[in-house]
Amino acid sequence: MAQMNMIEAIKDAMRVELKRDPSVLIFGEDVGHVGGVFRATEGLQAEFGENRVFDTPLAESAIGGLAVGLGTQGFRPIAEIQFVGFIFEALDQMFVQAARMRYRSGGRYNAPIVFRTPFGGGVKAAELHTDSLEGLAIQTPGIKVVVPSNPYDAKGLLISAIRDNDPVFFMEHLNLYRAFRDEVPEGEYTVPIGKANVVREGTDVTIIAYGLMVHTAKKAADELAKNGVNAEVIDLRTLMPLDIDTIVASIQKTNRAIVVQEAQKTSGAAAEIIAQINEKAILHLEAPVLRCAGPDTVYPFAQIEDAWLPTPARIVKTVNQVLQF
Amino acid sequence: MSKGSLDAPAMPVHSLAHEVRSEDVAPLRVLSPEGEVINPERMPDLTDEQLKEVMYRMVFTRTWDDRAVNLGRQGRLGFYAPVSGQEGTMVGSEYALTKDDFVCPGYRDMPQLVWHGLPLYQAFLYSRGHQHGGQIPEGVNVLMPQIIIGAQILHATGIAMGFKLKGEKRVAITYTGDGGSSEGDFYEGLNFAGAFKLPVIYFVQNNGYAITTPFAKQTGAQSIAHKALAAGIRGVQVDGMDVLAVISAVQEAAAIARDGGGATLIEGLTYRFRPHSMSDDATKYRTKEEEQEWSLKDPIVRFGKFLEAKGLWTEEDTARVKEEAKNAVNEHIKKAEQTEKMTVPGLIDSMFENTPPHLEEQKAEFQ
């Protein structure tokens, strides 16, 4: 066991897999020599060589296309898109070419690719660095979507993602990279893709969250506890495929739920989660499932980010609406 | 991947005197319109049997195209992009490579796939919209036809990088049209190949039109071959109606690539005798005179004259190949029509290696 922050855990996952499997490659803008703008790949080129970990020209679509081509030739590319807002340049390669490769070829080819990208607010970054674009990915058939919230999960989920024989969009929250340290086992272990985690047990209401919002939700739960409300917090960890069973099991116990997401209200994963709850657990609900989310504006200017993003207070308010319904 | 160092010679400073000039490029030619060898130095090293095989494939492809258009009208084929006129670039470029080399086609490039090993009935299934059309047999080194113009340029680049990383002496070839050279992915692919010195051939079949838009409206560049300069790779223009020139250009590019010399952009000047697709009316944007002029450059006629003069081909040979091709098309369209129908659960199961629970649930709705 070692104490690691999330970025160290992510690097460790890639190191473990580079070592274990010679077909694993890492490439992207500035990931090689310098080790990435957040040092997620620091030291990996020195350890594994320029044929395994390399810098590319500045062109996201070609980074995606390179991954797709290499994927057909038995490689396992980990392609980094430097910031989430730049995935638009690579959308065809990620969400069309990689996501459809197995289906289009009737299984003859596949795309065992991880597209790593940082996202997420609260760090006063420049425009288009922090948007929550997971909603685009979850409505794209063929690609899995993973959003870890802590170092242990990040390492285990990334190892699972690298070993997955289908493409995975791996979203790393900027605000969690160095936020705290956790015990992270040495060597290899996996956290299964598609399995949520109940991070706080409760009986009165279920708060469903992912990414940074798991921590915001836990703070809200602490506030609620002061007023005698016992909230259960679920960290989804994977948005596609969604672990609806864990959500339903929780609602059967609490009979009330909200979904918290950093993305705008009309994007992200919340609407789909609520639709599935309606399909599978409506008779267990004492109140409608509400959303606590960003407003439907363009992602805010840095100076007003903190007011725009969901806060513990807004989550408490949303929970109270559900409780008082 | 070369790195700069303090010892390296200074980069040349481009002054006006060194400027890239948009001079007329002279396309590489081996045969005159009368089928005479006008450039013996570039005559590909092919046996008589190989020369006859090239002609066989061109005549076969033309007959298949004729039949495909009719089958389309009868509703027995679906999406189909005609190829007549482009046999020189299609057959010639594929013939210049080995079966180990990898083909990343655009949507018009079905002939290259079939000559590289894809069974004809699967080409028909692709046209009809059946998943089995894309189930490329093991050992046939091709991807499915690419609908997103430019995407295949990047796949070939990645595949070529794979060959380079594995130390394999293989080459990837990819095709697009003149319109495709305006895409960002076209430039990005060439540029990556230049930066990493990858064994890849970018073959642009310039038939003068992207659906209705003429080449002059795609770019102010003198030629597509010139665009190689921007990526630091070789650029070559070839007479695409001269199959021997196409073979020569591709063989040369492949040899350079296998030797570690990097990528080549080849522009083949060609013409499609038919419309862009079965739903296009070429009379709205092309003149009879222009079509007449290009029909005189028919690659099959030109190569046929060359072979006839060498005593390697006769009209009877052409008739025999046409008959064979018609029979093959009949047999394969029947096989396509008899292929088991797809099912929704089957499609669902082909999405992921392990079907996730929500898809298992959705599958049940169709059983």
Confidence of residue B325 (pLDDT cuts 50, 70, 90): very high
Cβ contact (<8 Å) for A92 and B157? no
With a cut of 90, say whether residue B13 has pLDDT above it: no
- State the CB neighbour count (10 A cutoff) for residue B126: 25
With a cut of 60, say whether residue B6 has pLDDT above it: no
In chain A, residues with a C-beta closer than 8 Å to the C-beta of B161 are 66, 69-70
Q: Evaluate whether B200 touches B257 at the Cβ level (below 8 Å).
A: yes
pLDDT in tens, A104-133: 999 999 999 999 999 999 999 999 999 999
Residue A191 lies in a domain: no
Residue A236 lies in a domain: yes
Domain span at A229: 197-324
pLDDT score, position B321: 98
Cβ contact (<8 Å) for B188 and A59? yes
Residue A189 lies in a domain: no
B285 is catalytic: yes
> In degrees, to the nearest 5, what angle opens at C-alpha B105 toward C-alphas B317 and B193?
125
Q: Are residues A146 and A221 in the same domain?
A: no
Q: Can you tell me the distance from the alpha carbon of A51 to that of A25, in angstroms, rounded to the nearest whole number?
A: 8
Q: Domain total for chain B?
A: 1
Longest Cα pair distance anywhere in chain B, in angstroms?
A: 73
Here the tokens at position A25 are: 């490659």
With a cut of 60, say whether residue B21 has pLDDT above it: no
Residue B163 lies in a domain: yes
> What angle in degrees, to the nearest 10, is found between the helix axes of B299-309 and B243-258?
90
Residue A41 phi/psi, 5° resolution?
Answer: -120, 20
Longest Cα pair distance anywhere in chain A, in angstroms?
A: 60
pLDDT in tens, B119-163: 999 999 999 999 999 999 999 999 999 999 999 999 999 999 999
What share of chain B in percent tops pLDDT 90? 89
Q: Evaluate whether B177 touches B207 at the Cβ level (below 8 Å).
A: yes
The chain-wide mean pLDDT, for chain A, equals 97
CATH classification at residue B137:
3.40.50.970
Confidence of residue B57 (pLDDT cuts 50, 70, 90): very high
pLDDT in tens, B218-248: 999 989 999 999 999 999 999 999 999 999 9
Q: Are residues A273 and A164 in the same domain?
A: no
With a cut of 60, say whether residue A93 has pLDDT above it: yes
pLDDT score, position B17: 47
Residue B270 burial class via C-beta count within 10 angstroms: exposed 0-12, middle 13-18, buried 19 and up: buried
pLDDT score, position B22: 54
B129 touching A (Cβ < 8 Å)? no
CA of B242: how far to CAs of A254, B86, B310, in Å? 76, 10, 17
Q: Can you tell me the distance from the alpha carbon of A286 to that of A200, in angstroms, rounded to the nearest whole number?
A: 21
With a cut of 80, say whether residue A95 has pLDDT above it: yes
pLDDT in tens, A257-296: 999 999 999 999 999 999 999 999 999 999 999 999 999 9
Run of H or E residues at B302: helix B299-309
Residue A190 lies in a domain: no
With a cut of 70, say whether residue B178 has pLDDT above it: yes
Q: Is the ipTM of this complex over 0.85?
A: yes
Classify the phi-psi angles of B75: left when phi > 0, otherwise alpha if psi is within -120 to 50, otherwise beta: left
CATH classification at residue A76:
3.40.50.970
pLDDT score, position B282: 85
Q: Are residues A41 and A178 in the same domain?
A: yes
Q: Are residues A20 and A62 in the same domain?
A: yes
- Residue of chain B minimizing CA distance to A194: B356
Here the tokens at position B189 are: 């692919």
- Residue at a domain's end among A184, A206, A238: A184
| Listed residue (A6, A5, A3, A21) closest to A188, CA to CA | A21
Residues with Cβ within 8 Å of residue B176, at least 6 apart in sequence: B106, B149, B150, B152, B153, B183, B186, B202, B203, B204, B205
pLDDT score, position A115: 98
Cβ contact (<8 Å) for B188 and A67? no
Q: Can you tell me the distance from the alpha carbon of A126 to that of A130, in angstroms, rounded to the nearest whole number?
A: 8
Shortest CA gap B351–chain A (Å)? 5
Q: Are strands B234-239 and B213-214 parallel, antiparallel or unpaired?
A: unpaired
Rounded to two decimals, the pTM is 0.95
Q: Can you tell me the distance from the alpha carbon of A14 to that of A7, in angstroms, rounded to the nearest whole number?
A: 11
pLDDT score, position B23: 59
pLDDT score, position B24: 60
Please tell me which residue, B22 or B66, carries the higher pLDDT value: B66
